[in-house]
Amino acid sequence: MANLEPTTAGNHVAAKIPYRYVAWGLLPDPVSRRVHNVTEGLRAEFGGPEIMVPHVPILGSIILTEEDAVRTFRQACEVVGPIHCNVTHVTTSPFYYQCVHLFIDPDDKVVYHDLFLVMHEHDYMEFGFCTIGIMPQLSLLWGELTDEEKERAQEQVSLLDETITSFNFTIDRLALYKCNDEDRTQHSWEKILELHLH
């Protein structure tokens, strides 16, 4: 797949207005379909919005102009190669976007340190920087469930896919998204740029 250019590259005014951005690690297609089957199974029982693009959060969220976001994203992608991830277990969280998720142990934690250095170099830490190295996870269900519901959902994951808590995959694409925090469905979130990791 060719690299996709920013959708608003020709709009210089929009490119200079600060906005909120996140970066996601995109899953290989077979892994994405497998995860999607589990997310849909959970959603059928517990509700919540569809996770249209299964992903691993890499950077976010940061407030930048689009020009700065694209430039920094490109620089970050240049310093890391493909990210090898091992799924170790399913767990829950009090946070909406991490309600039920797969915990990921990256093979090489150096890549996350490199991402950290790129962002820190540009003094963007003040905008709320985070990395997969701090919270490596792949969300399976979004929502605000009770502890009992989370426990049932956690058990349901293994019924939907009995080996999903012990497999590995490689992230070789990162995507930069312009995000609207008020839209928890993420349907209005806009992909600005997608790059391959080499």
Higher-confidence residue of 80 and 92: namely 92
Instruction: Dig out the tokens for 63 from the structure.
Output: 């407030």
Q: Which amino acid is at 144?
A: E
Q: Give dist(CA 20, CA 80) in Å, integer.
A: 23
In a domain, 94, yes or no: yes
Q: Which residues contact 105 (CB under 8 A, 6 or more apart)?
A: 85, 86, 88, 136
Q: Give dist(CA 133, CA 74) in Å, integer.
A: 19
In a domain, 1, yes or no: no
In a domain, 137, yes or no: yes
Q: What is the mean pLDDT of residues 87-106?
A: 93
Q: Give dist(CA 38, CA 54) in Å, integer.
A: 11
In a domain, 4, yes or no: no
Taking only the tens place, the pLDDT of each residue in 147-176 is 999 999 999 999 999 999 999 999 999 999
In a domain, 13, yes or no: no
For the chain, percent of residues with pLDDT exceeding 70: 78
In a domain, 10, yes or no: no
- Quote the pLDDT of residue 78: 84
140 close to 100: Cβ distance less than 8 angstroms: yes
**Residue 123: which pLDDT band, with cuts at 50, 70 and 90?**
very low
In a domain, 3, yes or no: no
38 close to 160: Cβ distance less than 8 angstroms: yes
In a domain, 5, yes or no: no
Residues comprising the chain, all counted: 198
- The residue range of the domain holding 56 is 18-196
CATH number of the domain residue 119 falls in: 3.90.1140.10
**Residue 1: which pLDDT band, with cuts at 50, 70 and 90?**
very low
Question: What domain count does the chain have?
Answer: 1
Instruction: Give the position of tokens 């976010």.
Output: 60
